Amino acid sequence: MERFFNTAGPQTPDSYTIDPLSRFDLEDILLMIRQQRYFVMHAPRQTGKTSCMLALRDYLNKKGDYIAVYANVEGGQALRNNAESVIKSTCDTLAEQFSGIVGNDVPLHLRDEARKTETGSMLTTYLRRLSMALPKPTIIIIDEIDALVGDSLVSILRQIRSGYADRPKAFPQTIILCGVRDVRDYRIVLSNQDIVTGGSAFNIKATSLRLGNFSKEEIHELYLQHTQETGQQFDEACFPMVWDATEGQPWLVNALGREVTYKMRENRDRSVRIIPEMIDKAIENIIYRRDTHINHILKLLNEPNVQKVVLPVYLNQENIDPSISIEDYDNCVENGIINRERGKPLRIANGIYKKLISNLNVDAKTT
C-alpha cells in the first residue's frame, strides 16, 4: 500500500511525514526537563502539536531516564464548569496512560485511592502518590488544555501548581501544557462570573514555545517522499506555488499534496507529472469543498472581532481601529490567521487564507 499525505490526526508510519522531533529544539526541551521546568507548547490547530508531543513521549521513554505520558483532556470540554467531573476524568485519563506505559495496574489503584479525597485536591494527591510510587521521575504532556473552561480549567491549573514544590520525588518533574493559546492569554470566567487569568492560575510556567510551520525545504522533502514512493514527479515550479499558498501551514501542505496526487483522480496515474496548473486547481478545490480545517478558519473569519482585525490587515490599511483589543489581535495570531513579526507589518498568514478573506460576504472597502 502506498503511503499518503495525512490530513486527519497524528502522523502514522503509513503517511508522509517530517520527523516530528526536528520541528522544535529538542536539546532546549531536554534541558528544561533536566532543570525540572514546567512549560507551554502552543500553536494553531492542525499544525502537528499532537504528533510532536507523541514523538517526544516515545523518545523520552526510549531513553529510559523518565516515565513520560501523553494525555488529551479535550473530552472535559463538554463538562464545562463541572470541576468535579473534569478532575475525575483527568485522573482517569492519566491513570490509563501511565498504566499502559509502566505495564501494571499500580497507577489505576493509586487513582482509586486518590478518588477518596476532596475534588479540590484529588489531582494533586494522585500525582504526588504516583510520583512517589514509580521508579523514575515522571513527565506529563497534557494536550488540548485550553479546551477546558471556567472552574474546571482553574482547578486543574491550581492543583498542578500546588504540588510544584515537591517535584521530582513527590510530583512530576516536568509538565508540558499544550494548546492553541499560551496559558498567559487564558481569560477564564468562573461560575460566579469572577475572571481569572491563566498567568495568575499557573504562575510556575518557565517559558512558552510556539511550534512553527514547515520550512520551504521541509515542504520539498515531504513532497519528494511521494516521488520516491510512487515515481510521480513534481515540476519544480510547483514548490514556490505551494509555499505561497500555505507558507508551510502543515494541514494545508498535506491537503494540497493529497488533493493533487489522489483526490484529482486523473493524477492517480503515477506517470502523470504534477504541474503548476494542477496546483492552482487543487487550491480552488480545497477552498470550494470546505474541508474541516478550511471550515474552521471560515467560522473564525465570520466572527465580528476577527473581522475587525483581519480586514484592515488584508486591505493594508495603516490606521488601527482603537476599539480593537490586544486580545482580539492575539486571537488572530494564535489561530494562525495573521502573522505578527517583530519590526514588520501584520500580514495574512498565507495565500489560501487571503482567498478565504476575499470571499467573505463583507463590503470591506466601504468600512
Domain end point (choices 289, 318, 346):
289
Task: Tell me the average pLDDT across 334-342.
Answer: 91
Per the domain annotation, does 177 fall within a domain?
A: yes
Strand blocks (E) in the chain: 38-42, 67-72, 138-143, 174-179, 187-189, 195-197, 205-210, 338-339, 347-348
* Number of domains the chain is built from: 3
Per the domain annotation, does 267 fall within a domain?
A: yes
Per the domain annotation, does 329 fall within a domain?
A: yes
Query: Among residues of the chain, what percentage have pLDDT more than 90?
Result: 71
Give the global pTM: 0.90
Domain end point (choices 269, 289, 309):
289
CATH code of the domain in which 64 resides: 3.40.50.300
Is pLDDT at 362 greater than 50 in this prediction? Answer: no
| CB-facing half-sphere around the CA of 291: CA atoms within 13 A | 19
Task: Tell me the average pLDDT across 305-329.
Answer: 85
Task: Tell me the average pLDDT across 46-61.
Answer: 95
Is pLDDT at 31 greater than 50 in this prediction? Answer: yes
Q: Are residues 77 and 125 in the same domain?
A: yes
Q: Are residues 59 and 204 in the same domain?
A: yes
Q: Are residues 115 and 192 in the same domain?
A: yes
Q: Are residues 280 and 318 in the same domain?
A: no
Whether the Cβ atoms of residue 279 and residue 219 lie closer than 8 Å to each other = no
Residue with more model confidence, 353 or 182: 353
Cell of 340: 505578527
| Measured distance CA(322)–CA(308) in Å, rounded | 11
Per the domain annotation, does 31 fall within a domain?
A: yes
Whether the Cβ atoms of residue 192 and residue 166 lie closer than 8 Å to each other = no
Q: Are residues 126 and 259 in the same domain?
A: no
pLDDT at 192: 57
Q: Are residues 181 and 46 in the same domain?
A: yes
Per the domain annotation, does 74 fall within a domain?
A: yes
| Measured distance CA(355)–CA(327) in Å, rounded | 25
Domain end point (choices 155, 182, 210):
210
pLDDT at 153: 85
Is pLDDT at 193 greater than 60 in this prediction? Answer: no
Is pLDDT at 320 greater than 70 in this prediction? Answer: no
Residue-wise pLDDT for 210-236, tens only, equals 899 999 999 999 999 999 999 999 999
Per the domain annotation, does 11 fall within a domain?
A: no
Whether the Cβ atoms of residue 255 and residue 6 lie closer than 8 Å to each other = no
Highest mean pLDDT pick, 34-48, 171-185, 307-321:
34-48
pLDDT band at 360 (very low <50, low <70, confident <90, very high): confident
pLDDT at 194: 56
Task: Tell me the average pLDDT across 86-105.
Answer: 96
Task: Tell me the average pLDDT across 131-151.
Answer: 91
pLDDT band at 195 (very low <50, low <70, confident <90, very high): low
Per DSSP bridges, beta strands 174-179 and 138-143 are parallel
Q: Taking Cα atoms as reference points, which of 318, 283, 306, 284 lies closest to residue 362? A: 306
Q: Are residues 76 and 183 in the same domain?
A: yes
The contacts of residue 136 (CB under 8 Å, 6+ apart) are 64, 65, 66, 67
Q: Are residues 46 and 174 in the same domain?
A: yes
Chain position carrying cell 502522523:
11
pLDDT band at 152 (very low <50, low <70, confident <90, very high): confident
pLDDT band at 365 (very low <50, low <70, confident <90, very high): very low
Is pLDDT at 150 greater than 90 in this prediction? Answer: no
Q: Are residues 52 and 131 in the same domain?
A: yes
The CA-based dihedral angle spanning residues 274, 276, 281, 286, taken in that order and rounded to the nearest 10 degrees: 80
pLDDT at 149: 76
Structural domain including 325 reads 294-366
| Measured distance CA(178)–CA(70) in Å, rounded | 10
Query: Among residues of the chain, what percentage have pLDDT more than 70?
Result: 90
Q: Are residues 50 and 158 in the same domain?
A: yes
| Measured distance CA(40)–CA(181) in Å, rounded | 9
Residue-wise pLDDT for 102-125, tens only, equals 999 999 999 999 999 998 999 999
Per the domain annotation, does 14 fall within a domain?
A: no
Q: Are residues 31 and 158 in the same domain?
A: yes
Lowest-pLDDT choice from 63-67, 72-76, 247-251: 72-76
pLDDT at 327: 85
Per the domain annotation, does 118 fall within a domain?
A: yes
Q: Are residues 149 and 284 in the same domain?
A: no
CB atoms within 10 A of CB 45: 17
pLDDT at 167: 94
Task: Tell me the average pLDDT across 191-205.
Answer: 59
- Helix or strand run (H / E) with residue 310: helix 304-314
CB atoms within 10 A of CB 289: 12
Q: What is the mean pLDDT of the chain?
A: 90
pLDDT at 293: 93
The contacts of residue 361 (CB under 8 Å, 6+ apart) are none
